[in-house]
Amino acid sequence: WRKNRKDKTFMVIPSRIFNYLVGRLWGVRLHDYNCGLKIYTKNAAKSLDLYGGMHRFIPLLLHQKGFSVSEIPTEHQKRMFGKSKYGFSKVFKDLPDMFTMFFLNRYSNRPMHFFGLIGGLMLFMGTVFLTYLTIIWLMGESIGGRPLLFLGMLLVIAGFQLFFTGFLADLIIHSSRGSKQSDLLLKYETEK
């Protein structure tokens, strides 16, 4: 990790925020995920499947695959040429990759837990709104022009869609495992 960084404050603060968030979300606390100096074993490097901005999460990816991850301080040199591309705007570019990593880490084997929870909450809220409006309608009031009607319908439709997206994702994961899953099934027999 870059000890005693020679960068300007507007570059160090976003990096510290990023390192803090990654450490809090995944429990792999490192001083500097973005340090350019990294050393890997051959097996660790071959196990990586990087795309997009996932290079920022290499220590986390390796930790998830069972490799040990550590850091040692390095002497940071002040930039002599050119301009850095990093700053506060970089934090907002890293957030989608951070969300992707969080989702893959927590829900890649059980997407229904993610989509089903959000879809179920939306479905519940939409049903509550529509039930309320139905009661008002039964009392003789007009509900056709109320924004709550459209919000309730939108929440119910989106809730169903998210719920079934999670259901389909679970089916796809289950069917893609195919023979791998059948190898794990155990048959118990007892002798009489």
Same domain for 102 and 8: yes
* Number of domains into which the chain is organized: 2
Q: Please say if the pLDDT value at position 143 is more than 70.
A: yes
Query: What does the block give as tokens for 7?
Result: 């960068």
CB atoms within 10 A of CB 18: 20
Q: Are 30 and 21 in contact (CB under 8 A)?
A: no
pLDDT band at 182 (very low <50, low <70, confident <90, very high): very low
Instruction: Identify the domain containing residue 102 by its residue range.
Output: 2-107
Same domain for 126 and 54: no
Residue 74 belongs to a domain: yes
Same domain for 64 and 28: yes
Same domain for 102 and 49: yes
Same domain for 76 and 49: yes
Give the mean pLDDT of 175-189: 57
- Digit-coded pLDDT (tens) for 144-170: 889 999 999 999 999 999 999 999 998
| pTM for the full predicted model | 0.58
Tell me if residue 73 falls in helix, strand or coil.
coil
> Distance between CA 40 and CA 32 in Å, rounded?
16
- Digit-coded pLDDT (tens) for 14-26: 777 777 887 787 7
